[in-house]
Amino acid sequence: MAQSPHLRIALAGKPNSGKSSLFNQLTGLNQKTGNFPGVTVDKHIGYCQLNATTRAQIIDLPGTFSIYPRTLDEKIVSEILVDATGENYPDRVVLVADATNLKNCFLLLTQMVDLQIPTILALNMVDLAAQAGMEFDIAQLQKQLDVPVVMINARTGSGLDELKEKMAAPLPKSSLHVYEPDAELIPILDKIQAELHLKSRHAAFIVLQQWNQMNFLPDPKKKELQQLAHDIRFFPAKYQGAETVQRYGFIQGVLNAVTSKVADKEWKKNTYRLDRILTHKIWGYVIFLFILFSIFQSIFLIAQVPMDWIDQGFANLSSYLSGVFPDGPFFDLITQGIVPGIGGIVIFIPQIAILFAFISILEETGYMARVVFLMDKIMRKFGLNGKSVVPLISGWACAIPAIMATRTIDNWKDRLITIFVTPFMSCSARLPVFAIMVGLVVPANNLLWFINLQGVALMGLYLLGFVAALGTALIMKLWVKTTEKSYLLMEMPTYRTPKWSNVGYTILEKTNAFVFEAGKVILAISIVLWVLASYGPGDAMQQAEQRVTAQAQQNNWSAEDTERVLAAEQLENSYAGKLGKFIEPAIRPLGYDWKIGIALITSFAAREVFVGTVATIYSIGSTDDTATVKGRLKAEVNPETGGPRFTPAVGFSLLIFYTFAMQCMSTLAIVRRETKGWKWPVIQLAYMTGLAYLSALAVYQLMA
């Protein structure tokens, strides 16, 4: 394989060792992110021209301390490195080591060597190590480990040419064997190795320990291994402990031989000084709240500017195209279905980009570990995790980037609960609905001289969503079962300035993932909804048109008025209108009529559509202007009672419904992507809609 022009090279190493920086340096924009089959672990793959003749496929493995996995990410690593027949099995591995902390990094290195995968050791952060006063004898290190050693700086890119050269050159396996299993196990391991075509005895040893984690094994094989492990009374934990101690014994010997000076604590004094403030019992939270507030404000306000451009741009494109195209259902589909549908996807990009810029900076600087440190205890009470805080708060702006941000949570159960409850946080799309309904049913009186009653009601709705999120998390904590234990055990990295190109790559990667994976579902549903609202059964639509035209001629309506009434009539006679009437019996107990029913259906695409639909159905014309819509709704009369249609009971019932209901297909699409299937989005939709329905029912029945 060594001479093959197409090499597969994996980057391995502990978290924070600079692996991703090296990956970005090697592959540049020539990278893409996919998923490992069956799990939601990002698979980063890129290509790199090592020299004139050799091109390499680079896989950036998730960061791990060893090949004994704790999390989903780490399971992937051990499976890839063990399964020699798998499609991701690397020809060679570049082990990225943090030079300031070689001891921890070498554990994984000795495991690679025992797996007999040809390995190159890339010593990263040698500049920091030098600052700390450490010195290494590289020649000695090379000799002791029998692997090529290259010093690099993954941030600046220095040392990369030498690394590429070594990556392309023929690379023999290291002659070293660090850990030998007990003698009585050896015949059993050799048999497993031969049967499964593994590359080393150590790989067989890992399979025997972790047969249930190895997805490449067929079920009967797993049963066989389970029986075998039982028969020879094989206890993985005992062996792993002994193995780790033995490896560290070896590592200490190597380090004693190659390091001439150990690190003094001085170089970390800035980190300790910062930690004293950033994890302070008062200032720590004040600063964290300030940072959260900045993120929230940026997503909410700064993103608004490009979002308005996108909104306007797509509206213009749509009307331009409908002017150019001839009439006909196919062109209508393009101008009114597809173009606005794509617009509905693109509109989220500013928020996603801004949130991930912040998150990436928090991770790059090392502050994210402190956030977890500060919040872990509080969040754990609710079945969440210190890392759930950022997604939850971001949910107040938009649930979509927030749910994508849960990937930083490595415990699956904690992550699932965070994904599940995030849509309860009142996002910015609920605001237009809230604004209209609160304005309609809550008097604008001042409670005290500066506290406005409408403001209090609005804040109450936000709080209500937050309480629902925490309450649901508590329920799920008891309900969702997991075999994966929740650990914290997390490195507190030294503070560093962020590397901006890494921030850029993160933004690109997340935006791409959203547009191309969730985008498909969003586009499909928005086209379906458009068809429902634009076409009706039989000739109901044509009849409506004829009726309105006749009326218009009789009463001498202006063209604008005619169009207004026509739009309302057409919506009433469309499939969406029929559906609205069909669900009327179900929503009547909540105080809604079929007109509100139509708005509920169309706003399933996105909550803010409620306003536009209500404007159309009450023939206000195509306006989103809150004051106009509000004024018209206020005057709407309920034909059964003769009183106003939007009584306080109906208004509050709607407010509560929109606080709890899922009403956002983009969120569903992203939940499907993040949980790898329709199971969780469907449960979430049912739960949230159910809760919304029952709460709105209770509110209406109590108030009416």
Partner 1 sequence: MAPGETAVIAGFHDEELSVKLLEMGFLPGSSVRFNYAAPLGDPVCVTISGFDLSLRVSEAATIAILR
- Site of interaction with partner 1 (CB under 8 A): 65-66, 68, 70, 100-101, 103-104, 107, 237-238, 240-241, 244-245, 248, 262-263, 268, 271-272, 275-276, 279-282, 284-285, 369, 372-374, 376-378, 485, 487-494
Query: Quick one: DSSP state of residue 232?
Result: T
Partners of residue 12 on adjacent β-strands: 95
Query: Quick one: DSSP state of residue 676?
Result: T
CB closer to partner 1, 366 vs 651: 366
At its nearest, how many Å lie between partner 1 and the CB of residue 480?
Answer: 20
At its nearest, how many Å lie between partner 1 and the CB of residue 114?
Answer: 15
CB closer to partner 1, 1 vs 262: 262
CB closer to partner 1, 111 vs 511: 111
Partners of residue 60 on adjacent β-strands: 11, 44
At its nearest, how many Å lie between partner 1 and the CB of residue 287?
Answer: 12
* SS3 sequence of 245-285: HHHHHHHHHHHHHHEEECCCHHHHHHHHHHHHHHCCCCHHH
Residue 6: its H or E element: strand 6-12
Q: What are the angstrom distances between the C-alpha of 569 and each of 58, 89, 410, 583, 621? A: 59, 62, 52, 18, 12
At its nearest, how many Å lie between partner 1 and the CB of residue 30?
Answer: 34
At its nearest, how many Å lie between partner 1 and the CB of residue 277?
Answer: 12
Is 94 strand, coil or helix? Answer: strand
Task: Output the DSSP codes for 350-382.
Answer: HHHHHHHHHHHHHHHHTHHHHHHHHHHHHHHTT
Is 91 strand, coil or helix? Answer: coil
At its nearest, how many Å lie between partner 1 and the CB of residue 198?
Answer: 22
Q: What are the angstrom distances between the C-alpha of 670 and each of 53, 149, 213, 306, 527? A: 41, 42, 27, 22, 18
CB closer to partner 1, 183 vs 282: 282
Spatial separation of the C-alpha atoms in residues 464 and 468, rounded to whole Å: 6
CB closer to partner 1, 275 vs 311: 275
CB closer to partner 1, 284 vs 337: 284
Taking Cα atoms as reference points, which of 515, 344, 343, 304 lies closest to residue 428? 304
At its nearest, how many Å lie between partner 1 and the CB of residue 362?
Answer: 16
At its nearest, how many Å lie between partner 1 and the CB of residue 285?
Answer: 7
Residue pair 50/9 in contact by the 8 Å Cβ criterion = no
CB closer to partner 1, 52 vs 282: 282
**CA-based end-to-end distance of the chain:** 78
CB closer to partner 1, 478 vs 489: 489
At its nearest, how many Å lie between partner 1 and the CB of residue 524?
Answer: 44
Handedness of CA 121, 127, 132, 138 (dihedral sign): positive
Residue pair 462/655 in contact by the 8 Å Cβ criterion = no
CB closer to partner 1, 496 vs 547: 496
CB closer to partner 1, 107 vs 217: 107
At its nearest, how many Å lie between partner 1 and the CB of residue 485?
Answer: 7
Residue pair 299/394 in contact by the 8 Å Cβ criterion = yes
Residue 120 is encoded by which pair of tokens? Answer: 């190159």
Residue pair 632/620 in contact by the 8 Å Cβ criterion = yes
At its nearest, how many Å lie between partner 1 and the CB of residue 78?
Answer: 13
At its nearest, how many Å lie between partner 1 and the CB of residue 17?
Answer: 12
CB closer to partner 1, 86 vs 241: 241
Q: What is the dihedral of CA 19, 170, 178, 254, to 10 degrees?
A: -70
Residue 18 is encoded by which pair of tokens? Answer: 């600079």
CB closer to partner 1, 38 vs 241: 241
Is 329 strand, coil or helix? Answer: helix
Q: What are the angstrom distances between the C-alpha of 434 and each of 155, 423, 442, 654, 656? A: 47, 16, 11, 9, 10
Taking Cα atoms as reference points, which of 97, 161, 160, 106 lies closest to residue 129? 97
At its nearest, how many Å lie between partner 1 and the CB of residue 269?
Answer: 13
Q: What are the angstrom distances between the C-alpha of 547 and each of 394, 537, 543, 569, 570? A: 49, 17, 6, 9, 11
CB closer to partner 1, 230 vs 485: 485
Amino acid at 488: L
Is 44 strand, coil or helix? Answer: strand
At its nearest, how many Å lie between partner 1 and the CB of residue 371?
Answer: 11
Is 42 strand, coil or helix? Answer: strand
CB closer to partner 1, 488 vs 627: 488
